[in-house]
Chains A and B, each alone.
Chain A
Amino acid sequence: MLKHSPALLALIISCPVIAMAEVPDAERQAQLLYLLKHDCGSCHGMTRKGGLGPALLPENLSDFPPEFLVTTILDGRPGTPMPPWRGELSEADARWLVEALNRGEGL
């Protein structure tokens, strides 16, 4: 038990840190919603009802774990036109976008 405790301790400390990890500020959130509407929107539709890419309404996403969606945004879907947005978007950005999509924010 003692042997594992540093790892456990690290986990206990890091978990809340990840959970609270920089939530994009209001300005960044507005930028992300703009990106979602106009750039993601060119394939997924500005109203997120889909296009060349699938629909991104809350009911379309409810079957997918948030982690999967975050990974899809950051790393793309090889073999499809979905590009990796890593570099342009941080992990926190992608996480916030997934939450926004699931809430149907900005619709």
Chain B
Amino acid sequence: MRLPEKGKGVGKGVRSLFHNPQGKSHWDVEKKGSDPFSFALSFLLLVFFCSFYGTANAECLMRGTGDLGIVIERASGSVQVVDTTARSSLFRIEGLGDLSHASAVFSRDARYAYIFGRDGGLSKIDLLCGSLVKRVLQAGNSIGGAISQDGTLVAVSNYTPGGVKIFDAQTLAQVVELPAVDEAGRSSKVVGLVDAPGQRFVYTLYDAGEIRSVDMHEPGKPQVQRFRDVGSLPYDALITPDGRYYIAGLFGEDGLALLDLWQPQEGVRRILDNYGKGEDKLPVYKMPHLEGWAVAGRQAFLPAVGRHEVLVVDSDSWKEAGRIAVHGQPVFVVAQPDGRQVWVNFAHPLNDTVQVIDTRSLQVIHTFKPGKGVLHMEFTPRGEAVWISVRDADAVQVYDTTSFRQLAELPAEKPSGIFFTSRAHRTGL
């Protein structure tokens, strides 16, 4: 469904059909047939062809996609395609199933988005045509996905049944299934699935406490490497932008599990395991998300589980470099593309607030309340603006990252994840 400027695309498609640079239109050609019957028939054929051609292209835009993105509308199973330059909505695509906790990746031509729904649905949408290209129900319950380094494979991590399924990015035909079964034969929920250099996917088994890395150079012969006993209840993971370090957050104990993908033979080691020793955690009303890597210079910023703190980590030594007291339990801790500021949102019941941390002084320099249910934040490709989904306001708000002034507000039904096409060319997103 095209939202604004409905006529624009239609006009283009029809005009290009009638305009013929050789000066001979279909009409002229057909007029040569003198017999009225064949004339009428050709006319009908032309009308039929026109209308068919018209619908095929009517809604599609002729433009680049570098400043486009999508907004997940979690409660209505729909997605909006948005333009981050015009700050407007282009399309709404419906019928994508249960999108609670949905996420998305982009094809490397940045025309298509792959959306991973909670109900196990994998949907491929066309950003230029505002259409659902294909949808497969690949599992009972899924959590996220990734696209391979070369853009040919899409992997999905599942809760029920646990495991990873890998699909052809073009057709969504299944290529291979990787069960997540441990020694005892127990199937694990899979979290923290990312792409990595060397045509790999890396993922974590929540129940088994294990990290696995699969080399997909030969799709028919996946080479799986296993790293056992990484810690208790790894709930999510991220990969550094260079694709070198894979880090899983642990819910069941303190610290994080770090795997150096340049030296996998060194195995997984625990970092920040002294953090919070002997302190009581607060109840966690929403699991933090490790997405992307909030990194500025040598410092990385992470949400502390069960604490009103953002952790600062030295990314050379992987030692704690500081803690920043914040408004609530952080959910997303994301750095602007320039790394100058880190933005933080919070778990229920303090999820009406966003804070901005200056990465040089490690101070909170701005606190504001977009509204109840701030679920996600996404920066424009070079970071002059941030888009924030405010669930209970049924709106996406756009803010200037320098002046913190609100620039725009777009209506959206219970918006959650916001994903821009600049992710198409970044490892791990």
Interface residues of chain A, those whose CB is within 8 Å of chain B, are 37-39, 41-43, 45-47, 49-52, 76, 79-81, 83-85, 88
Assuming the A-B contacts A42-B286, A43-B287, A88-B349, are A49 and B98 also in contact, with contact meaning beta carbons closer than 8 angstroms in the complex?
yes
Shortest beta-carbon distance, A41 to chain B, in Å? Answer: 5
Would you give 10 A-B contacts (Cβ < 8 Å), ordered by A?
A39-B348, A41-B100, A46-B74, A49-B118, A49-B119, A51-B118, A51-B143, A52-B159, A76-B283, A83-B283
Please state if B118 and A46 are interface contacts (CB–CB under 8 Å): yes
Of chain B, the residue at the smallest CB distance from A43 is B287
In the complex, the 3 A-B pairs of residues with the closest C-beta atoms, listed nearest first: A83-B283, A46-B100, A39-B348
Task: Write out, one digit per residue, whether chain B residues 274-291 have a CB within 8 A of any chain A CB (1) or not (0).
Answer: 000000000111110000
Task: Kindly state the separation between the CA atoms of A51 and B191 in the bound complex, as whole angstroms.
Answer: 11
Please state if A52 and B287 are interface contacts (CB–CB under 8 Å): yes
Knowing that A41-B100, A42-B101 touch, tell me 6 more A-B residue pairs with CB under 8 angstroms: A46-B118, A52-B189, A79-B252, A83-B283, A83-B284, A83-B285
Assuming the A-B contacts A39-B286, A79-B252, are A45 and B233 also in contact, with contact meaning beta carbons closer than 8 angstroms in the complex?
no
Residues of B near A39 (CB, < 8 A) are 285-286, 348
Shortest beta-carbon distance, A35 to chain B, in Å? Answer: 8
Residues of B near A42 (CB, < 8 A) are 100-101, 286-287
Shortest beta-carbon distance, B140 to chain A, in Å? Answer: 8
Taking each of A46, A47, A80, A88, which has the highest tally of chain B beta carbons within 10 Å of its own beta carbon?
Answer: A46
Task: Kindly state the separation between the CA atoms of A38 and B373 in the bound complex, as whole angstroms.
Answer: 9
Please state if B75 and A46 are interface contacts (CB–CB under 8 Å): yes
Shortest beta-carbon distance, B177 to chain A, in Å? Answer: 20
Task: Kindly state the separation between the CA atoms of A76 and B285 in the bound complex, as whole angstroms.
Answer: 11
Of chain A, the residue at the smallest CB distance from B236 is A52
B235 contacts the other chain (CB 8 A): yes
Task: Kindly state the separation between the CA atoms of A31 and B181 in the bound complex, as whole angstroms.
Answer: 40
Task: Kindly state the separation between the CA atoms of A42 and B351 in the bound complex, as whole angstroms.
Answer: 13
B106 contacts the other chain (CB 8 A): no
Shortest beta-carbon distance, B186 to chain A, in Å? Answer: 15
Task: Write out, one digit per residue, whether chain B residues 252-292 have a CB within 8 A of any chain A CB (1) or not (0).
Answer: 10000000000000000000000000000001111100000
Residues of B near A81 (CB, < 8 A) are 233, 235, 251, 284, 287
Please state if A45 and B141 are interface contacts (CB–CB under 8 Å): yes
Residues of A near B140 (CB, < 8 A) are 49
Please state if A52 and B235 are interface contacts (CB–CB under 8 Å): yes
Task: Write out, one digit per residue, whether chain B residues 230-257 have a CB within 8 A of any chain A CB (1) or not (0).
Answer: 0001010000000000000001100000
Task: Kindly state the separation between the CA atoms of A45 and B118 in the bound complex, as whole angstroms.
Answer: 7
B138 contacts the other chain (CB 8 A): no
Shortest beta-carbon distance, B255 to chain A, in Å? Answer: 17
Q: Which of B141, B251, B287 meets A49, CB within 8 Å?
A: B141
Chain A contact residues: helix, strand, loop or mixed: loop
Of chain A, the residue at the smallest CB distance from B100 is A46
B391 contacts the other chain (CB 8 A): yes
Please state if B98 and A52 are interface contacts (CB–CB under 8 Å): no
B116 contacts the other chain (CB 8 A): no
Please state if A47 and B284 are interface contacts (CB–CB under 8 Å): no
Of chain B, the residue at the smallest CB distance from A42 is B286
Shortest beta-carbon distance, B327 to chain A, in Å? Answer: 17
Task: Write out, one digit per residue, whether chain B residues 180-214 have a CB within 8 A of any chain A CB (1) or not (0).
Answer: 00000000010100000000000000100000000
Of chain B, the residue at the smallest CB distance from A79 is B252
Task: Kindly state the separation between the CA atoms of A52 and B159 in the bound complex, as whole angstroms.
Answer: 7
Please state if B119 and A47 are interface contacts (CB–CB under 8 Å): yes
B367 contacts the other chain (CB 8 A): no
Q: Which of A43, A45, A85, A88 meets B98, CB within 8 Å?
A: A45
Please state if B206 and A52 are interface contacts (CB–CB under 8 Å): yes
B57 contacts the other chain (CB 8 A): no
Task: Kindly state the separation between the CA atoms of A85 and B43 in the bound complex, as whole angstroms.
Answer: 70
Residues of A near B101 (CB, < 8 A) are 42, 45, 51
Residues of A near B251 (CB, < 8 A) are 81
Task: Kindly state the separation between the CA atoms of A83 and B280 in the bound complex, as whole angstroms.
Answer: 13
Task: Kindly state the separation between the CA atoms of A10 and B208 in the bound complex, as whole angstroms.
Answer: 50
B160 contacts the other chain (CB 8 A): yes
Please state if A51 and B286 are interface contacts (CB–CB under 8 Å): no
Of chain B, the residue at the smallest CB distance from A84 is B283
Please state if A50 and B159 are interface contacts (CB–CB under 8 Å): yes
Task: Kindly state the separation between the CA atoms of A41 and B391 in the bound complex, as whole angstroms.
Answer: 13
Shortest beta-carbon distance, A86 to chain B, in Å? Answer: 9
Residues of A near B159 (CB, < 8 A) are 50-52
Task: Kindly state the separation between the CA atoms of A84 and B284 in the bound complex, as whole angstroms.
Answer: 9
Shortest beta-carbon distance, A32 to chain B, in Å? Answer: 14
Shortest beta-carbon distance, A72 to chain B, in Å? Answer: 13
Please state if A46 and B98 are interface contacts (CB–CB under 8 Å): yes
Shortest beta-carbon distance, B209 to chain A, in Å? Answer: 13
Please state if A50 and B141 are interface contacts (CB–CB under 8 Å): yes
